[in-house]
Chain A
Amino acid sequence: MMKPLTDEQKTNTQTFQEPQLVETNPDFEVRSLDAICVNESHLQHKWYHNLKYVAAGMLLGIIFVKAEVVSWFRIQEMFRLQSFHMYGIIGSAVMVGALSVWLIKRFNIKTIYGETIEFHPKTFNKGQIIGGVLFGLGWAMTGACPGPLYAQIGTGATVIAITLLSAIVGTWVYGYFRDKLPH
Chain B
Amino acid sequence: MLEWLSQPWPWYVAGPLIGLIVPLLLILGNKSFGISSSMRHICAACAPANVKFFKYDWKKEVWNLFFVVGLFLGALLVTLFFPNPSPISVHPSLAEELAQYGITDISSLVPKQLFSWENVLTLKGFLMMIVGGFLVGFGARYAGGCTSGHAIMGLSTLQLPSLIATVCFMVGGFLMANFILPLILKL
> Is A10 positioned at the interface, with any CB of B under 8 Å from its CB?
no
Residue of A28, A54, A135, A173 touching B140 (CB-CB under 8 A):
A135
From known contacts A67-B14, A88-B15, infer whether A136 and B94 are also in contact, taking CB-CB under 8 Å.
no
Q: Is the CB of B94 within 8 A of A39?
A: no
Residue of A38, A56, A154 touching B75 (CB-CB under 8 A):
A154
**What is the bound-complex CA distance between A59 and B75, given in angstroms?**
9
Q: Is the CB of A74 within 8 A of B89?
A: yes
The A interface, classified by DSSP as helix, strand, loop or mixed, is helix
Select from chain B the residue with minimum beta-carbon distance to A77: B91
Residues in chain B near residue A127, CB distance under 8 A: 142-144
From known contacts A98-B155, A140-B173, infer whether A65 and B79 are also in contact, taking CB-CB under 8 Å.
yes
Q: Is the CB of B181 within 8 A of A141?
A: yes
Q: Is the CB of B154 within 8 A of A160?
A: no
Write the nearest CB–CB distance from B87 to chain A, whole angstroms: 11
Residues in chain B near residue A21, CB distance under 8 A: 52, 55-56
The B interface, classified by DSSP as helix, strand, loop or mixed, is helix
Q: Is the CB of A72 within 8 A of B171?
A: no
Q: Mask for B110-134, Cβ within 8 A of A = 1, else 0? A: 1100111101100000011111111
Q: Is the CB of B94 within 8 A of A77?
A: yes
**What is the bound-complex CA distance between A115 and B27, given in angstroms?**
9
Q: Which residues of A contact B (CB under 8 A)?
A: 18-19, 21-22, 25, 28, 30-31, 33-41, 43, 47, 49-80, 82-86, 88-101, 103-104, 109-113, 115, 117-125, 127-147, 149-160, 162-176, 178-179, 181
Given A35-B36, A54-B67, A128-B144, 13 new contacts (CB under 8 A): A36-B145, A47-B62, A53-B66, A57-B70, A71-B109, A103-B23, A111-B30, A128-B168, A134-B143, A142-B129, A150-B71, A163-B115, A167-B137
Q: Which residues of B contact A (CB under 8 A)?
A: 5, 7-40, 42-43, 47, 49, 51-57, 60-64, 66-79, 82, 84, 88-91, 93-94, 98, 106, 108-111, 114-117, 119-120, 127-162, 164-178, 180-181, 184
